Amino acid sequence: MYFDTIIIGAGHAGVEAALACARTGLTAALFTLSLDAVANMPCNPSIGGTGKGHLVFEIDAMGGEMGYAADRVTLQSRTLNTSKGAAVRSKRIQADRRAYSALMKHTIEETPGLSLIQGEVTGILTEPDGDGGRRVTGVTASPMGEFSCRAVVVSTGTYLGGLTHVGDVSRHAGPDNSLPAEGLNDCLRALGIPMMRFKTGTPPRIHRRSVDFSRLEVQYGEEWITPFSSRTDPDALNRIEQIPCHVVYTNEETHRVIRENLHRSPLYSGKIHGTGPRYCPSIEDKVVRFADKERHQLFLEPMGLDNEELYLQGFSSSLPADVQLRMLRTLPGFEEAEVMRFAYAIEYDCVDPLALLPTLGFKQIRGLYGAGQFNGTSGYEEAAAQGLLAGMNASLYVRGMPEIVLPRYSSYLGTLVDDLVTKGTNEPYRIMTGRSEYRILIRQDNAEERLAKYGHDAGLLSDERYEATLARTREVREEVERLKRAHVGPSSGINALLEERGTAPLSSGVSLAELIRRPELDYAALAPYDPARPALPRTQADRVSTEIKYEGYIRHEEEEVARQARAENAKLPADIDYAAIRGLRLEAAQKLEKVRPLTVGQAARISGVNPADISVLLIWLEARKAARA
C-alpha cells in the first residue's frame, strides 16, 4: 500500500504533522500503538504556559490545530506574567484531557486523505539517493507488513524504548502503562542516527472526594478569555463557566518523608540512566537541590468534567507507591487522599537533534523528519509546533517545493528549532521566553502577522483565511497611525482621568498615542475622549495599545534583526571542508563539521565557535567568491 507520507506516533507532534500533510492535498497514514491514546495528555492536563502559550498561537497562525482544539475544551484560562511586559505574557488553559483527545481523534478521522491506523512501525526503508546519502521509500509495520511512501515523520514521544519506574518496580511500558515502541530503535541506529536516553515523569492522580478543598487556596480563571485560535468565536468562548483550580504547599514533614526514603528512589539508586528535565524536576529532586526551601508550590487541577481525577502539578515522583501516599498525606487537605494513579518516571530513546537540519529533516536521509520529544524536547506545545513544521516540510518535499526554515527572530518555534539543531541538548529541552533575544517582536498577539504567510505558502491557510489575517493586521496598523495624528487637549475634560490615574494633567494638546505611552494609561481608558475611534475587537485593541507602548523597543529589535539577517542570508556551501580552512581553530572546525550549519549566522551560534572563527570563515567565503568570479 502506498501513502505520500507516513507519520509514526499519534501524540501532539504526530497529529499536527499528519493533518499538515493531508490538508495540503497528500495522502497520509498516521500510525499509533493505540487508537485510544491519540493526542493523549499523559502528564499535565493543560496547554500553554510561559513561552509555551506563544507556541500555541504560532501553531494556529500557520494553520495548525492545537489552539482551536484547546479553545473548545477549556475548563479554565489564565494569562501568566500580567504584571510584567507584554513580551512575556503567556496564556495557559486547563484542558479537559479526554475531551481533547476525543476531539483530535475525530478531527483526524474526518480529514480527507488521512488514514489513522493502529499498529507499530518497526522499520524505515531507504535506498541510495545518488548523492552519497539515502532517501526514504517506506516503512515496515506490525502486524501489517510493508507500506511505501516518499516521506516519514518520526514522532514517537516517550514510547520509544519506554521504561517506567515506581520505586524498585521497573517495566517496559509507555505513558499510562501503555505498550512501548520497541521495534524501531535498532533500525534507527542501523541507519546511523545518533540516539540519546532521556527521562521524564508525572505526578499521582487523586480522587476528588478525598481532598478537603476548604484548606486549599482557590485559583480562579481570568475575567476575559483571549482565544488561542482566530477560528474561535471569542464571545462563545467567554460564555463557558470556568472551573476553579487550587494551590497547596509542601511542608517540612513532606520533605522529611522524602529525605528518609531517597535510598528507595530509582533516581538516586542508579536505576534511572536517562537525563531528566531541569525545569520540571521530580519533587524528590527539588527537595535535594533546593534544600534551603521550606516549601514548594503545587497546583491541583481537574482532569476533566466527566471524571473525578485530580492532577497535582509539581509533585512528579518515582518513589515507591507507599512513600508517595505517605508524603501526599502530609499536605494540608490531603490527609485522607486516595490515589487513583501513582506517579512514575519514564525513560525513553530520542535522537540527538544535531543530526537534523533546520527543516527538521535528517541530514543524511532525504524524506525523513523528526518531531516532538523524539527530537529531545519536552512538552505538548513544543511537540505540536515541531510536528506542524515537520509535516509542512514533509509535504513540501513530496511536492517538490522549497522547504521552510524559520529564522529564530521569526518565532519561538524558530528559536526552538535553531537551538536544537545548532546547539543540541543534553536534557529535555523546554521553551521559555528567556530563550529568545527578540521577545518584543515575537509576542502572542502578533503571531498571525509573523507567520501566516508560511502557512499560506505551504497550502495550510486558504486564501480567504489569509486575507482575513492581513485585514486584521492592516486595521491595527491603520489605527496606530490614526492615534498618532489624533490630538486631545485640556478642554476635553481628560485631565480628570489623568489625575485619577496619577499622571500629569495636560496644559496643551498631545496626540492620543503619546498618552497611551504613559504607564498609567492604555487604549481602552482613552475611549471616552476619542469619538472617531473604530470598533475593534478586543484582541486587536489590545494589540494597538502594545504596538504604541513598545514602539521604541520594537524599532530597536527590528534594526537588530536587519543586522542579523545579513549573516543569516550568507549561505555556507554544503561541501565545505572545514579542516582545510587556514586560520580556523581545530575545535571550531570540528564543531562546524559536526553541525554543518547552513548559514554564517547559524555557525556563529554554535558553542565552541567564537567571533574570530567567524571572521576567518567570512574571509574564506570572500576569497572563494573572488576565485570563482
User: Within a 13 Å sphere around the CA of 86, how many CA atoms are in the beta-carbon half?
Assistant: 21
Which residue in 92, 99, 95, 116 sits closest to 14, CA to CA? 116
| Continuous segment of H or E residues that includes residue 502 | none
Buried b (16+ CB within 10 A) or exposed e, 113-148: bbbbbebbbbbbbbeeeeeeebbbebbbbeeeeebe
The residue with cell 518531531 is 371
DSSP state, residue 577 = -
Q: List all residues 6 or more positions away from 104 whose beta carbon is below 8 Å from its beta carbon.
A: 15, 38, 39, 65, 69
Largest CA distance in the chain: 81
Task: Name which residue leads in pLDDT, 289 or 399.
Answer: 399
pLDDT reported for residue 575: 86
Please give the average per-residue pLDDT across 511-527, as a whole number. 95
DSSP state, residue 152 = E
pLDDT reported for residue 618: 87
pTM, full prediction: 0.95
**Mean pLDDT (the chain, rounded):** 94
Residues in the chain: 629
Q: For 436-460, how does the pLDDT look when each residue is reduced to its tens digit (9 = 90+)? A: 999 999 999 999 999 999 999 999 9
Grid cell in block for residue 349? 530513546
Task: Report, at the CATH architecture level, how domain 205-347 is classified.
Answer: Beta Barrel (2.40)
Q: Is the pLDDT of residue 619 over 80?
A: yes
pLDDT reported for residue 144: 95
| Cβ atoms within 10 Å of 538's Cβ, excluding its own | 12
Q: What class has domain 483-557?
A: mainly alpha
Q: Which of 51-60, 89-98, 101-110, 616-625 has the lowest mean pLDDT?
A: 616-625
| Cβ atoms within 10 Å of 584's Cβ, excluding its own | 21
CATH 1.10.150.570 domain extents, the chain: 570-628
pLDDT reported for residue 482: 97
Gap between the Cα atoms of 200 and 374, Å rounded: 13
Q: Which of 48-62, 194-208, 519-533, 552-566 has the lowest mean pLDDT?
A: 552-566
CATH 1.10.10.1800 domain extents, the chain: 483-557
3-state secondary structure of 12: helix
DSSP state, residue 440 = T
| Continuous segment of H or E residues that includes residue 76 | strand 74-80
Q: Are 425 and 353 in contact (CB under 8 A)?
A: yes
What region, left, alpha or beta, does residue 447 occupy, with left being phi > 0 and alpha being psi -120 to 50 degrees?
alpha
pLDDT reported for residue 283: 92
Grid cell in block for residue 604? 556563529
Q: Are 274 and 195 in contact (CB under 8 A)?
A: no
Q: Are 123 and 331 in contact (CB under 8 A)?
A: no
Gap between the Cα atoms of 584 and 296, Å rounded: 49
Gap between the Cα atoms of 479 and 473, Å rounded: 10
pLDDT reported for residue 280: 76
563 — pLDDT class (breaks 50, 70, 90): confident
3-state secondary structure of 325: helix
Please give the average per-residue pLDDT across 309-330, as a whole number. 96
Q: For 208-235, how does the pLDDT look when each residue is reduced to its tens digit (9 = 90+)? A: 999 999 999 999 999 999 999 999 999 9
Q: Are 200 and 158 in contact (CB under 8 A)?
A: yes
Q: For 142-189, how does the pLDDT look when each residue is reduced to its tens digit (9 = 90+)? A: 999 999 999 999 999 999 999 999 999 999 999 998 989 998 999 999
Q: What class has domain 570-628?
A: mainly alpha
Q: Is the pLDDT of residue 35 over 80?
A: yes
Percentage of the chain with pLDDT > 90? 84
Q: For 366-406, how does the pLDDT look when each residue is reduced to its tens digit (9 = 90+)? A: 999 999 999 999 999 999 999 999 999 999 999 999 999 99
Report CA dihedral (20, 33, 367, 463) to the nearest 10 degrees. Answer: 0
Q: Could you tell me the end-to-end alpha-carbon distance of the chain, in angstroms, rounded to an integer?
A: 50
